[in-house]
Homo-oligomer: A and B are copies of this chain.
Amino acid sequence: MEIRTYIERHKDRFRDEWFSLLRIPSVSSQSEHKADMVKCAERWKELLLASGATRAEVMPTAGNPVVYAERIVSASAPTVLVYGHYDVMPPEPLELWKSNPFEPEIRDGRVYARGADDDKGQAMIQVKGFETALQTGILNCNLKFILEGEEEIGSISLGDFCAANKELLAADVILVSDTSMVSEETPSLTTGLRGLSYWEVEVTGPNRDLHSGHFGGAVANPINVLCKLIADITDADGRITIPGFYDDVEELSDTEKAMLAQVPFSETKYKQAIDVDELFGEKGYSTLERNSCRPSFDVCGIWGGYTGEGAKTVLPSKAYAKLSCRLVPNQQPDKITQLMIDHLVSVAPRYVKIKVVHKHDGDAYVCPIDLPAYKAAEKGFTIAFGKQPLAVRRGGSIPIIPAFEKILGMKSVLMGFGLERNAIHSPNESFGLDMFYTGIEAVAEFYNHYRP
């Protein structure tokens, strides 16, 4: 049977299976969802077996379990290891969702739910692409699947799991659908990822909240101090001022700059989509360079003092912030964390106490475009989308991708089907139904063309 025919005949079931995953609130960063993680892993196990895996297991780790599955055709055939994750970001702020984040709703051909894209939708594309290849008789390689439940909290247990199961996970290449394309009109494959370091800062002033009338002016306010510390981390040119921060940054080659310049990009549309009048970033770089090939510094959250209704005149005891840097190839997260902590501790004034806690991190990654699996992915995209995909570096981080390379010694090919409009990590995350089926076709065609 033709690939497209198979997909067309089974499309309703594919969608229903995907929805059954979206209904499980597998939020890894919130401990109240501990049981949902297991429930979600068990559901994946069922689906993998039903899709053609000959073995599937929910395997324990120090944290949330890993789902492992396989279909071994022959010991001499090449092996593809498919990676995905079943955990999702917190849905908050809930009041901004138009429908329940854990009850998928179709509006205008799009599926709205937390995880619709990241990564339940994309991981399902991989599983259903495998089923399609298997059922249409074009599968020539062994398949292994590994789905983790901690990607959104830094894949904290997966490294150890991989190190302990090297034999089980042995393969020729890793296939991942957890990234996005340039646009619907410009399909692309991701050939680079940024790294990440993430910290939480706590600034303590007085030992209790003080009356701002009785103490204001005489005692340092920890929010005022935290704002100054954060403000000083970047300069007016958008550069990070921490000494040594840029030391290891790999500058883009002229060739890479030229490739990036080929990506269709309208600054006007980009600004309109997010409703800002002007963009801001590091001086001397284009927007596409800034959000994919240059490091960045973002405050992901800040809180302190009175944040309720009305006005409370208080000089608070504490102020907090969650800070993160995206890193680029050659920057070492450990080294950046040390630089950040040393910097903050050394510049914090003596009238406050500061605590910086390292939360998680990940290396940057580069995929060579002459890899056989990369070429098969390119073919798959070309057939499914009707045009050849561009090779571009992206700004996000999937810390486990460079970790796979370190631990398992394998490169990953990033066959991502996401789009900016899918609003992953945001309220009203969505994924187009058409893209879901096109993605399945691209994955099936990958297997049709994978000849290492």
Contact = CB atoms under 8 A, between A and B. Distances in A.
Contacts of A310: 28-30, 153, 359
B296 A301 contact: no
A205 B271 CA distance: 11
A159 interface: no
Contacts of A220: 276, 278-280
Contacts of A200: 311
Interface string A294-308: 111111111111111
Contact of A303 (B198, B217, B224, B307): B307
A221 B420 CA distance: 18
Contacts of A234: 224
A226 B321 CA distance: 13
Nearest to A206: B274
Copies in the complex: 2
A216 B198 CA distance: 13
A218 B312 contact: no
A351 B319 contact: no
Given A207-B274, A302-B223, A306-B90, A213 B194 contact: yes
A379 to B, nearest CB: 26
Interface string A405-430: 00000000000000010011111000
Contact of A227 (B194, B196, B296, B299): B299
A31 interface: yes
A218 to B, nearest CB: 4
B302 A302 contact: yes
A232 interface: yes
Taking residues whose C-beta sits less than 8 angstroms from the other chain, chain A's interface range is 35 or more
A312 B29 contact: yes
Contacts of A228: 227, 230-231
Contacts of A352: 276
Interface string A306-333: 1111111111100111101010000000
B214 A311 contact: no
A71 interface: no
Contact of A213 (B30, B230, B279, B397): B397
Contact of A396 (B194, B205, B213, B309): B213
Contacts of A11: none
Interface in A196-250: 196, 198, 200, 205-221, 223-224, 226-228, 230-232, 234, 238
A300 B308 contact: no
Listed from nearest, the 9 A-B pairs whose CB atoms lie closest are A217-B296, A213-B396, A29-B310, A231-B231, A301-B305, A206-B274, A207-B275, A218-B291, A216-B296
Given A206-B274, A220-B279, A303-B307, 17 more contacts: A31-B309, A90-B308, A207-B274, A215-B274, A217-B238, A217-B291, A219-B274, A223-B302, A224-B230, A224-B297, A227-B228, A228-B231, A278-B350, A301-B305, A301-B306, A301-B308, A306-B322
